[in-house]
Structure 1
C-alpha cells in the first residue's frame, strides 16, 4: 500500500505522516516530495522545522525547479519586520495566494512541515477548518503533512487525522535502517483499509517495501494504548476460588424470599394475631365523608 500512496493517484487527498520522538517521519516525507517531483508536479512546502537548504540537500538539482519553499523556518512567529511566512498566515486566502502565485497550470501539492508547529500556535478547530477548505477549494491537488503525535493531546491528533484520507504511522524496528509503517486508508465510499509494512529508504529517497511484519515476535505497541490491569497491585484478592463460588451460590440473601417463607407470610396459621375494630356508638363517622372529623 505504501508504493500506491507514493504514486499520488488520489486527487483531493490528505495524507498525514505521523511520527514520534522514537522514529522520525521526515525522511519519508522527503520521499513523498521526491516522488511528486519525479511525476513533474509542482510542490509547495511550508517549512517550519528545517531550512530550504537542508530540504534540497537530498533532492536532485534538476527536480528542485518545481519545488517552491515558503520559509517559515527563519521567523515562524513574525518577530522581524519582514518575515517570509508566519504561522499566523495559515489560512485559506493566504495559502491559495501562495499556491496560485506560480505559473503552473495544474493544481500543486501542498506539503506542511510540520502540522505540529501550527497546532502549537493555532487552535485545532481553526487548523481543521483550513485543511477542510483547502481539500475542497481546488487550489491544491493534495495535501501532505508531517505530525509529531507525541507533542499534542490525543484529541487534537484525532481531530486532524479524522480529516485525512490516509494516515501513515511510522515506528522503529530492531534494524536501524528499517521502519514499520502502519497505514490507514479511507476511500471515498467510506471503506477503511489498514495495513502494516516494513520499509527502508535508499539514498536517492526511493522507498523499498521489505515485507509484512511478523506478529510472532516482539510486538510494538504504543505505551499510551497499553491496557493495564487495575487489580494487579491490590492488597486483597478480588477473584473467588471454586469452593468460595460454590458457597456464595448456596447463601440465602436476606431480601430473597423462599417459597416456604412466602407461604408463611401470606397464609397466617393458628395463633397468629389479628386486629379487630368495632365502631363505638359515640363515634362520629360519616360514611359519605370519612374525613369529616379532620380540620382541613
Structure 2
C-alpha cells in the first residue's frame, strides 16, 4: 500500500506522515516530494522546520524549477519587517494566493503541521485544511505531524480529515522502518496495512514486506513471565503419591453409600429414646403448661 500511495494517482487527497522523537518521518516526506516531481507535478512546500537547502538535499536538480519553497523557517512568527511567510498566513485566502502562480493545481507539502498547531488553534487549522481539501486550489496535501508533541485529541482531529495516515517507527535493522498505514477510500471503506521499508540515497522507497513475514520478535528477558512460587520456603505443589492419598480421603461431610443406607433403613435393634415421668415431675396431662407462671 505504501508503493500505491507514492504513485499519487488519487487527486484531492490529504496524506499525513505521523512520526515521533524515536524516528523522523522527514525522509519519507522527501520521498513523496521526489515522487511528485518525477510525475511532473508542481510542488509547493511550506517550510517551518528546515531550510530550503536542507530540504532540497538529495532531490534531483532538473526538477527544482517545479519545486517552490516558501520560507517560513527564517522568520515563522513575522518578527522582521518583511517576512517571507509566517504561521499567521495559514489560511485559505493566503494559501490560494500563494499557489495561484502555477498553471495547474499543485501539491502542497506542509513541513510541519506540528509547528502550525503550536501557534494556531486546532479548530482553525482543521478548518483551513478542510477548505483546501475541498476547494480545488491544490491537487493534494501532504503534511508531517509529530504525534508526541500534541494531545491525543488534537492528533485524532487532524488525522480524521486525512484520506491516508502513515505512522512510521524504527525497524529491527538500522536502515529499516515500519509503516502502519490507514487509508480511507471515497466509498468510506477503511483499509489497514503494515509494511517494512527502507529509503535509498536517491529518496526512492523500497518495500521489504510485512513484519509477519520476517518472524516474530523474541521477548526481552525482563518481559518474560517469572514463576511467583520459585523462592517460597514451602511447597504449593503435590506429588503423585500425595495427590492419590488426597483423592482417597473420606471427607466428614460426605456420606458414603453404606452410611446413607444405614441411616435411611433402620432395622431391628436400632436405638430408641423412651421417657418415663418421675413422681416429682408433677406432670398434668390435662394442663401441660400448669408449671408455667402465665
Q: Same fold (TM over 0.5)?
A: yes
Task: Give the equivalent residue in structure 2 for 1:74.
Answer: 74
Partner of 2:232 in structure 1?
A: none
Q: Does 1:4 align with 2:4?
A: yes
Is the radius of gyration larger for structure 1 or structure 2? 2
Q: C-alpha displacement at 1:217, in angstroms? A: 2.0
Distance apart, 1:185 and its partner CA = 0.1
Aligned partner of 2:168 in structure 1 is 170
Aligned pairs for 1:1-296 within 5 A: 1-102=1-102, 104=103, 106-214=104-212, 217-218=216-217
Tell me how far apart the structure 2 counterparts of residues 57 and 161 of structure 1 sit (CA, whole Å): 28
Within 2, Cα distance between the matches of 1:108 and 1:128?
20
Q: Distance in 1 between matches of 2:44 and 2:185?
A: 25
Change in 2 beyond 3 A, CA 1:217/1:60 = same
SS of corresponding position for 2:22: coil
Cα pair distance change 1:21/1:219, threshold 3 Å: farther
Partner of 2:270: none
Distance 1:109 1:97 in 2: 14
CA–CA distance in structure 2, aligned partners of residues 162 and 135 of structure 1: 13
How far apart in 1 are the matches of 2:105 and 2:13?
A: 12
Please give the secondary structure, in 2, of the residue aligned with 1:62: helix
Give the distance between the partners of 1:163 and 1:118, measured in 2 at CA: 16
Q: TM-score, normalising length from structure 2? A: 0.73
SS across alignment from 1:140: coil
Q: CA RMSD in A?
A: 1.3
Task: Check 1:31–1:75 CA distance in 2 against 1; reply closer, same or farther (3 A cut).
Answer: same
**Number of residue pairs aligned between Structure 1 and Structure 2:** 218
Distance across 2 between alignment mates of 1:218 and 1:75? 45
Can you give the 5+ residue segments of structure 2 that lack an aligned partner in the other structure? 220-294
Q: 1:172 to 1:219 in 2, by over 3 A?
A: farther
Output the CA distance in 1 between the equivalents of 2:22 and 2:39.
31
Q: Which residue of 2 aligns with 1:263?
A: none
Secondary structure at the counterpart of residue 55 of structure 1: helix
- Aligned equivalents of 2:141 and 2:61: distance in 1? 23
TM-score by length of 1: 0.72
1:57 CA drift (Å): 1.5
Superposed CA offset, 1:122-148 (max 9, x none) = 000000000000001101000000000
Measure the CA separation in 2 of the matches of 1:166 and 1:20.
Answer: 18
Residues 11-56 of structure 1 show CA distances to partners (whole Å, capped at 9, x for unaligned) of 1100000000001000000000000000000000000000001111
Shift of 1:219: 8.7
SS of residue matched to 2:139: strand
Quote how far apart the aligned CAs of 1:153 are.
0.2
